[in-house]
Amino acid sequence: MTGAQLGRALGVSKALVSSALAELEGYGLVRATASEDARAKCYDANEDVYSVIKGVLRDREMRLMSRAEGEVTYLKRRLLTDSALHAKVAPKRLQTLAEMVNAGNSALALLTSSAGLEVMFSDKEP
């Protein structure tokens, strides 16, 4: 299906379809394929659920977790030198947040490994 066909079917503008398809393609959810009309791209859904989920977790979620880890590290360093920050940030709560971020990073690492996804989507009982 081309972007224009998709826009007509959904009743939305070409610009909206174009930006949505670009984002979906970036996450690997759709793939551009050759069309009969050389001027238009056709799009097919990526039916490989494992690669789609792994890609989204790796590309989006791990980036967000890395940013969170950096922010926590920054706050921990500032806490050592900025006495006024102690009144606003409880060190014990910051340590708990750091542990949660580390646990989230570990969970993402497991899920983005092949074994993690196989366990997540397995039809077998554990």
Q: Are residues 112 and 58 in the same domain?
A: yes
The yes-or-no verdict on residue 98 having pLDDT over 90 is yes
Q: Are residues 70 and 28 in the same domain?
A: no
Q: Are residues 66 and 116 in the same domain?
A: yes
Concatenated DSSP letters of 34-57: --SSTTS-EEEE---HHHHHHHHI
**CB atoms near residue 38 (< 10 Å):** 7
Number of domains in the chain: 2
List the domain range (segments joined by +) for residue 53.
49-120
Chain position carrying tokens 């890395």: 66
* Domain contains 78: yes
Cα 69 to Cα 105: distance, rounded to the nearest angstrom? 9
pLDDT digits (tens, 9 = 90+) for 39-96: 788 899 998 888 888 888 888 888 999 999 999 999 999 988 888 888 888 889 999 9
pTM higher than 0.85, yes or no?
no
Q: Are residues 54 and 116 in the same domain?
A: yes
Confidence (pLDDT) at 52: 84
Mention every residue, 6+ apart, whose C-beta is less than 8 A from residue 58.
Answer: 108, 112
Residue 100: pLDDT band by 50, 70, 90 thresholds? very high
* Domain contains 126: no
* Domain contains 108: yes
